[in-house]
Amino acid sequence: MEWFEERLETAEGRTVRIGVTAKRACVRSPYQTIEVFDTVSFGRMLVHDGVIMATERDEAHYHEMIVHVPLAVHPAPRRVLVIGGGDGGTVREVCRHAGVEEIDLCEIDEQVVTVCREYFPGLTGGFADPRVALHFADGAKWVAEHPGYYDVILVDSSDPIGPAEVLFRREFFASLHGALREDGIAVTQSESFHYHERIIGQISRFGREIFPVYRYYYTLIPTYPSGVIGFSFLSKRFDPLRDGDPGRLPFLADLKYYTPEIHRAAFVLPAFTRAFLPD
């Protein structure tokens, strides 16, 4: 058996190794190298520049939590923007919400969509939904050019290196606030509390300065570094623990990870995070 190895730049001396049976694709785009592997235990796997983005076995843990937490809280989400997310999983989950009328995907790298359409049909089926429009553009510029337009914005980004680095700056979070309607919600991928204290602390500081409501929550993903990945919940009005009704989603029985209980529990954090995520 051959092994794929992801070295963790933020955790010296640690690595993730996944047994693979075949490499299905290797594409060099203007932004990154995109690879697709078949694995022994996790199904098909998507890799960008040597970093695991998604596997068939655990992708739902991420995509369901980035989507259904905010969309269960907002009372009437009609316009939704996904930044990044070219693999299609986030769009697929948004499409479950019948009340959503318009779904824009803003992905800077068109090759990600092309590769995933071929190798991950279980992720990309939402792209055929007539409510979905694909835009291959810079997400930071897109939000700056759409003031007061969206009910919910989901930033499904990779780590803060390369083309995604701008999505972790204060200026971008200010643009997110500006692109939301008066009761809008944004959720951004915000790294692991085990390895990224500085980044999370920074986002927490300017998130609280810009938005009336800021909370950090997380999901469990075996193939990501530390098995944990977090999200920043940023809202102009609604609180994820006081507002909305996670139990009202009519498709709950079809989901693999998200439940009303998981919704609430995901905001309960270990004691050590208080050092960089104060109440």
**Catalytic site positions:** 156
What is the 3-class SS of 108-152, one letter each residue? CCHHHHHHHHHHCHHHHHHHHCCCEEEECCCHHHHHHCCCCCEEE
Show the tokens assigned to 59: 């992708």
Q: Are 103 and 131 in contact (CB under 8 A)?
A: yes
- Centre a 10 Å sphere on the Cβ of residue 177 and count the other Cβ atoms it contains: 19
Q: Which of 61, 99, 102, 66 is nearest to 81 (CA)?
A: 102
**CA dihedral (158, 45, 187, 203) positive or negative:** negative
Query: What angle, rounded to 10 degrees, do the helices at 197-210 and 170-179 form?
Result: 40
- C-alpha span between 26 and 33 (Å, rounded): 7
Q: Of 203, 202, 233, nearest to 216 (Cα)?
A: 233
Q: Which two tokens stand for residue 74?
A: 């907002």
